[in-house]
Amino acid sequence: MISIKPHHFVDIVTALGEGRSDPEPHPYGHAVHTVTRQILADPDVKLRMEFGADDICSPCCHNVDGLCDDTIDISFRPQAPESKREYNLLLDQRWAERLDIEEGDVLTAREFCRRIRDRAGDITDIYRETPTDRTAARQSKLEKGVAEFLDQDR
């Protein structure tokens, strides 16, 4: 079972829609590359929803005692909190509300992807601090990634 933040799964599927299905290890040391490979290799892998540090965060150099000490670039989203931990929690709470999930829920990657397909709708309000043109591009990649993920085993 993979412990994952809702927005991390969304980011993985969005990257897939952008043609990035095999990310390289990141200098921060987080585990996006290994978790992505696990999820893409097994659409029925179980995912446990986590709003704190998840399996991607665990080995990251910014994970300090289970809390992210990193900051985000707020130059193009001045209304966002500078704390990555605070901003990511906002995103996870918004995704959880939209997809009707709670921390601790367990879904397969396929089930989670179906929820995104069926319930995401317009994601502008989830990423309300981000300019709409960037969010529109994200939404297009997310929709493409969801379709590709759900179509991969046909």
Amino acid at 121: G
pTM: 0.96
Retrieve residue 104's tokens.
Answer: 């601790």
Average pLDDT, the chain: 96
Tell me, what DSSP letter sits at residue 26? P
pLDDT for res 22: 87
pLDDT in tens, 50-102: 999 999 999 999 999 999 999 999 999 999 999 999 999 999 999 999 999 99
pLDDT for res 152: 76
State percent of the chain over pLDDT 90: 96
Helices (H), 5-151: 6-17, 32-41, 84-99, 109-119, 132-151
pLDDT in tens, 10-23: 999 999 999 998 88
Sign for the CA dihedral angle at 10, 15, 16, 20 comes to negative
Nearest-angstrom CA–CA distance, 31 and 99: 24
Question: How much is the average pLDDT of 106-135?
Answer: 97
